[in-house]
Amino acid sequence: MSDVKKVVLAYSGGLDTSVIVKWLQETYNCEVVTFTADIGQGEEVEPARAKAQALGVKEIYIEDLREEFVRDYVYPMFRANTIYEGEYLLGTSIARPLIAKRLIEIANETGADAISHGATGKGNDQVRFELGAYALKPGVKVIAPWREWDLNSREKLMAYCDEHSIPVDFSSKKKKSPYSMDANLLHISYEGGILEDPWAEAEEDMWRWSVSPEAAPDQPTYIELTYEKGDIVAIDGQAMKPHEVLEALNKLGGANGIGRLDIVENRYVGMKSRGCYETPGGTIMLKAHRAIESLTLDREAAHLKDELMPKYAKVIYNGYWWSPERKMLQAAIDATQDNVSGVVRIKLYKGSATVVGRQSAESLFDESIATFEDDAGAYDQKDAEGFIKLNALRLRIAAGKGRKQD
């Protein structure tokens, strides 16, 4: 007899997680609580309620977490200008700690002794969900069906549905998407299908959020982003909540062909994976944030942030959002943002987001010193001679000893 009495399942309402509900009920003879989160995936989440009810689920959680997602996860990540392996904006990675947190909170509220998820045994998400769960509730039991069952194909899943009278949309029985997709307010990802061949170009009709750069408008779109302490608070002077900012930037960026990415990344579990991503709003945010920092951050603080960023990105990608090292890095990053306020003007045009202006009351740019014209004595150019000689001292000594420089 199973020692699991109640389990909280991260439930999408799709084929896989619907099968998991029934499989948990039968395999563990336990009660299942479903949790469905709206983090901006662009699909209605309320239909998951009826599907869960049809499977005999009595406790059903459906929550709009869009504001919390962007405010407490996406924005803090973008303060660090975070990218993984030089390109990936971590759209899937950053959503997992929030889902893990709510799974544990719901488990505590309902008295559940286990949580479950539908991540496969090959990907990073199983690691992210479970590292988060263990960090927040060390004694929790985690059930990962894909690591236990033999339902390892869509055909077997459909046969299980037929055998157990699990209601599945007629359309999903007849039509299979060629891609595995994951979406939230920050991005949409595509894997599988022809993308498993790294040489094959993604089909144009795969992309859902953006037009191709070639089909984008022939006239540029200009926008102004207002920053306060490192976060965007307004677009074109209109105040917005964080999730509203990202929604608006996704539409603006997508309409101008911005944010498409095709990469091969190194997964934490050891394999390489080819994926395509659309991150229109995030692409704009990264450009704009670096622009306002260029005006307001001290040089050495900015350079140190750039040195810390790859470590911070790796921590998030690998699922350690709730770790002490991420919190330590976050504190250092956030401490740099007190004066990162002002306005950035961006030109959106045929796949590019170009910074064309920036201004700030906190600017460290001094025109009277930087000018190529007469600076009225603001900068004594003769000071440069001693500065250069002192910095060249070790080079001059080595050269004087006859050390080769090539």
Binding-site residues, please? Answer: 10-18, 37, 88, 93, 118, 120, 124-125, 128, 180, 189, 265, 277
Catalytic residue among 16, 169, 334, 375: 16
B/e letters for 68-97, b = 16+ CB within 10 Å, e = fewer, are bbbeebbbbbbbbbbbbeeebbbbbbbbbb
User: Can 180 be counted among the known catalytic residues?
Assistant: yes
Question: Which residue ranges make up the annotated binding site for L-citrulline?
Answer: 88, 93, 124, 128, 180, 189, 265, 277
What distance in Å separates the CA atoms of residue 146 and residue 153, rounded to the nearest whole number?
Answer: 11
Catalytic residue among 38, 125, 182, 231: 125
Question: Which residue ranges make up the annotated binding site for L-aspartate?
Answer: 120, 124-125
User: Can 406 be counted among the known catalytic residues?
Assistant: no
Catalytic residue among 96, 260, 274, 358: 96
Hey, which residues are catalytic here? 16, 96, 125, 180
